């Protein structure tokens, strides 16, 4: 199976590294295109895979990822739509581009999947939401899920929830990085060296996320377990509530999903 990427920026690079690290495909079976000479060199030299033109990727791929910015989709699809094989499965990873819109751009009935991954794919801890159109068979969907599963977790969602996936996992690494940076800033303000502060903050986030995933307990219950009566933690929680941490995150996600719907 040949896996092609049109565009090879942050997200495609993370996915390719994940696919290679997980051993799902050999380097010879992966190929990618990009706009600049600099990225084309990076595809060949750093990723070690074949660099080709958009048309070559489109015509050779059994599984074709569209990994350019949403603003580029219309122009890129217009140039490749005649080259794509009828049997290929096309995977769009852009927010806001519906299955119906994608179908219309290609101008014929094709197997199309909407997916929303995130950059932790690079370290094999990605989270992806997947929505296939009705032409994608169960076997093809399983294949797509196994590719996304090679660099993290992947779940099928109905199309109306794909923008929610963008808000809760596609974009959320940025919120978590802000949180880690802020936690480290607090530690630095209290006298801890900067590098050590990032390590303490990041490991605390990693461990807490694992507890949510592995214990099956409600996050509120886990929070309650850390907060001793009259203790230090509840003082921090009191200030976070006063400053509106929860409503900031909720409002941020609503803004993110709203932006995705408008793209």
Ligand X SMILES: NC(=O)c1ccc[n+]([C@@H]2O[C@H](COP(=O)([O-])OP(=O)(O)OC[C@H]3O[C@@H](n4cnc5c(N)ncnc54)[C@H](OP(=O)(O)O)[C@@H]3O)[C@@H](O)[C@H]2O)c1
Strand-strand pairing, 126-132 and 111-116: antiparallel
Nearest approach in angstroms of CB 19 to ligand X is: 15
Q: Which stretch binds ligand X (CB under 6 A): 6-14, 156-164, 223-231, 234-242?
A: 6-14
Which residues, numbered 135-194, are part of the site for ligand X (CB under 6 A)? 170
In the numeric block, the tokens 């969602």 are attached to 157
What is the Cα–Cα distance from 29 to 188, expressed in whole angstroms?
47
9 binds ligand X (CB under 6 A): yes
Residue least distant from ligand X (Cβ): 9
Residue 91 as a binder of ligand X (CB under 6 A): the answer is no
Contact status: 129 vs ligand X (CB under 6 A): no
Site stretch for ligand X (CB under 6 A), options 23-31, 93-101, 129-137, 215-223: 93-101
| 128 lines the binding site for ligand X (CB under 6 A) | no
Strand ranges in the chain using DSSP code E only, listed in sequence order: 3-6, 30-33, 50-51, 63-66, 89-92, 111-116, 126-132, 152-156
Tell me how far apart the terminal alpha carbons of the chain are, to the nearest angstrom: 32
Binding mask 23-42 for ligand X (x = CB under 6 A): ----------xxxx--x---
Closest to ligand X by CB, 94 or 187: 94
Work out how close the CB of 36 gets to ligand X at its nearest, in angstroms, rounded to a whole number: 3
- Per CB under 6 A, the segment of 117-125, 137-145, 187-195, 226-234 that binds ligand X is 117-125
Shortest gap between Cβ of 225 and ligand X (angstroms)?
A: 32
Q: What is the DSSP string of 168-236?
A: IIISHHHHHHHHHHHHHHHHHHTT--HHHHHHHHHHHHHHHHHHHHHH---HHHHHHHH--TTSHHHHH
Please enumerate in sequence order all residues whose Cβ is within 8 A of that of 8, keeping only pairs 6 or more positions apart, or say none: 16, 32, 33, 34, 39, 42, 43, 47, 67
* 68 interacts with ligand X by CB under 6 A: yes
CA distance 76 to 151: 26
Least distance to ligand X, CB of residue 84, Å: 14
Compute the distance between CA of residue 127 and CA of residue 149 in angstroms, rounded to an integer. 8
Name the residue nearer to ligand X (CB basis): 84 or 94: 94
Among 16, 118, 130, 165, contact with ligand X (rule: CB under 6 A)? 118
Min CB(33)–ligand X separation in Å? 5
Among 15, 88, 119, 172, binds ligand X (CB under 6 A): 119
How many CB atoms are closer than 10 A to CB 25?
A: 18
Q: Are 156 and 109 in contact, with CB atoms under 8 Å apart?
A: no
- The residue ranges that bind ligand X (CB under 6 A) are 6-12, 33-36, 39, 54, 67-70, 72, 76, 93-95, 116-119, 170
């Amino acid at each position: 199976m040949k896996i092609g990427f049109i565009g090879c920026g942050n997200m495609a690079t993370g996915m390719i590294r994940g696919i290679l690290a997980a051993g799902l495909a050999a380097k010879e079976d992966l190929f990618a295109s990009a706009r600049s000479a600099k990225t084309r060199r990076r595809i060949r030299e750093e990723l070690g895979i074949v660099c080709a033109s958009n048309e070559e990727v489109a015509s050779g791929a059994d599984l074709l990822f569209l990994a350019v910015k949403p603003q580029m989709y219309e122009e890129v699809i217009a140039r490749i739509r005649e080259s794509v094989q009828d049997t290929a499965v096309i995977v769009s990873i852009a927010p806001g581009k519906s299955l119906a819109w994608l179908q219309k751009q290609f101008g014929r009935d094709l197997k199309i999947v909407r997916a929303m991954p995130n950059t932790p794919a690079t370290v094999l801890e990605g989270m992806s939401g997947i929505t296939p159109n009705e032409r994608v068979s169960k076997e093809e969907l399983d294949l797509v899920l196994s590719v996304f599963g090679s660099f993290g977790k992947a779940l099928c969602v109905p199309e109306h929830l794909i923008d929610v996936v963008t808000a809760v996992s596609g974009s959320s690494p940025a919120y978590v990085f802000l949180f880690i940076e802020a936690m480290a800033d607090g530690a630095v303000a209290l006298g801890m060296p900067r590098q050590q502060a990032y390590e303490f903050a990041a490991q605390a986030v990693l461990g807490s996320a694992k507890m949510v995933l592995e214990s099956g307990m409600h996050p509120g219950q886990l929070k309650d377990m850390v907060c001793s009566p009259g203790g230090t933690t509840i003082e921090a929680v009191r200030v976070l509530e006063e400053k509106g941490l929860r409503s900031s995150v909720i409002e941020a996600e609503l803004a993110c999903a709203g932006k995705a719907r408008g793209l």
